[in-house]
Amino acid sequence: MRTRAFEILAAAGLVLAFTTGVLLLTGAPPLEAFALLVRGSFGSVSKLARVLTVWVPLTLCACGLIYTFRIGLWNIGVEGQVILGAVGATWALRAGAGHVPPGVLLALAMAAGVLLGAGWSLAAGVLRTRGGVNEIFAGLGLNFVAQGIVLWLIFGPWKRPGVASMSGTVPFPPELWLPNFSWGRLSPVALGCAVGALVLTAWLLGRTRVGLFLRAVGGNPRAAHLLGLPPERYLLLAMALAGGMAGLAGVIQVTAVYHRLIPAISSNYGYLALLVTMLAGFRLGPVAPIALFFAGLNVGSVQLPMALQLDSSLSGVIQGASVLAVLLAQGWGVHRARRQA
């Protein structure tokens, strides 16, 4: 317990020192930048609502990643799965607008997004199990393809009448938006989805045989096969679950945040969720607070360019440095224990 506390303190110190160094290198005042990050994210109720709108997709993606990490897969394709979820939702809303009652249509859009996200993920899974293509490269390649699909749709078949532009497709009518809280730009449905994903994942992994089997296959595929667990089927199940949750994140980006399809619809949340899951030590427990911390950094950093003429990518530097510091601190702990033994 004492070494764990020491690791966390050491990692936090490393991150703080590193970030301060980076800020000093650009000649920016570090204290002011840090204060801006905190005030810009948790300074008011509406800012908190904005942080939570980022927290929702991050949490959804991170929950999905817990399944794939448990079985030993590097599902770098979450980014593309988010995008395909958004494409699925947009497609359903465009196809059904005016024909189907809004409430039903929104439910159909969610189903379409989840299915498309899961399908995109299964494509990477099948390439891995049947084609021998490493899931890192399959997922990554599919991410770029998904980005290409979105751009093609926005500039081609789904372009605004007249001019196609980077601002995206025509916004949907307000009856096809997920409802908002009165106090900020945050949808209770989106929040419910994220909390639901946390509960579902905790239940599936902790209370059902699925979680046990995923861990068994991840630990030793050959032994699991001998015990009668088909590794391929569980690999694909984990991929489908991850892709479905990422797809739902994409649906929410369309129906609750942007109300249309935009080129940057995934906002890199898939990659960021990978960092969240890594920082959580591949366990579900710390996912929610770490996702909140990351979401706060993302929202807070939006102010940096205007207030201090700094690039908003500072949040990414802090997020990356945090994960790196924890990995190094853990490794250092193991290394020291091994040398003393």
Partner 1 sequence: MNEFSLVLLAASVVATAAPILLASLGETLTERAGLINLSLDGTILLAAMAAFAVAHDTGSVALGFAAAAAVGGAVAALVGFAGVVLGVSQVAVGFVLTLMCRDLAYFLGNPYSRIQGPQVPPLPVPGLADLPVLGPVLFRHNAVVYLSLVLIPALWWVLYRTKWGLEVRAVGEHPEAAYARGIAPRRVQMVCAVVGGALVGLAGAAYSLALKPGWGRPQGAEGIGWIALALVIFGGWHPVKVALGAVLFALLQVAGIPLQEAFPSVPAQVFQVAPFPLMIFTLLFMGLSQRESVERWAAGRPWARRLVRAFRGAAPRALGRPMEGG
Among 102, 108, 155, 189, binds partner 1 (CB under 8 A): 155
CB 49 → partner 1: shortest distance, Å? 25
Which of 12, 22, 95, 189 is the binder for partner 1 (CB under 8 A)? 22
Does position 136 bind partner 1 by CB under 8 A? yes
CA distances (Å), origin 304, targets 15, 33, 55, 143, 300: 19, 7, 20, 29, 8
Cα–Cα distance list, 186 to 50, 125, 252, 270, 307 (Å): 7, 34, 11, 20, 25
Residue 61 touching partner 1 (CB under 8 A) = no
- Rule CB under 8 A: say whether 42 interacts with partner 1: no
Give the length of the chain: 341
* Calpha distance 249→290 (Å, rounded): 17
Listed ranges 84-92, 101-109, 136-144, 191-199: which one lies at the site for partner 1 (CB under 8 A)? 136-144
CB of 225 to partner 1, least distance (A): 18
Q: How far apart are CA 84 and CA 172, in angstroms?
A: 18
Binding test (CB under 8 A) with partner 1, winner from 13, 29, 103, 148: 148
The enclosing H or E element of 32 equals: helix 30-42
Total binding residues toward partner 1, as defined by CB under 8 A: 48
The span from the CA of 183 to the CA of 166, in Å, is: 30
Question: Which residues, numbered 290-319, are part of the site for partner 1 (CB under 8 A)?
Answer: 309-311, 313-317, 319
What whole-number distance in Å separates Cα of residue 168 and Cα of residue 335? 50
Of 41-49, 111-119, 254-262, 330-338, the segment contacting partner 1 by CB under 8 A is 330-338
Handedness of CA 137, 139, 142, 144 (dihedral sign): negative
Number of helices (H) and strands (E) in the chain: give both, helices first. Answer: 14, 0
Stretch that binds partner 1, among 5-13, 185-193, 234-242, 332-340 (CB under 8 A): 332-340
| Residues near partner 1 (CB under 8 A) | 22, 25-26, 74, 76, 127, 131-134, 136-138, 140-142, 144-145, 147-148, 151-152, 155-156, 271, 274-275, 278, 309-311, 313-317, 319-321, 323-324, 327-328, 330-332, 334-335
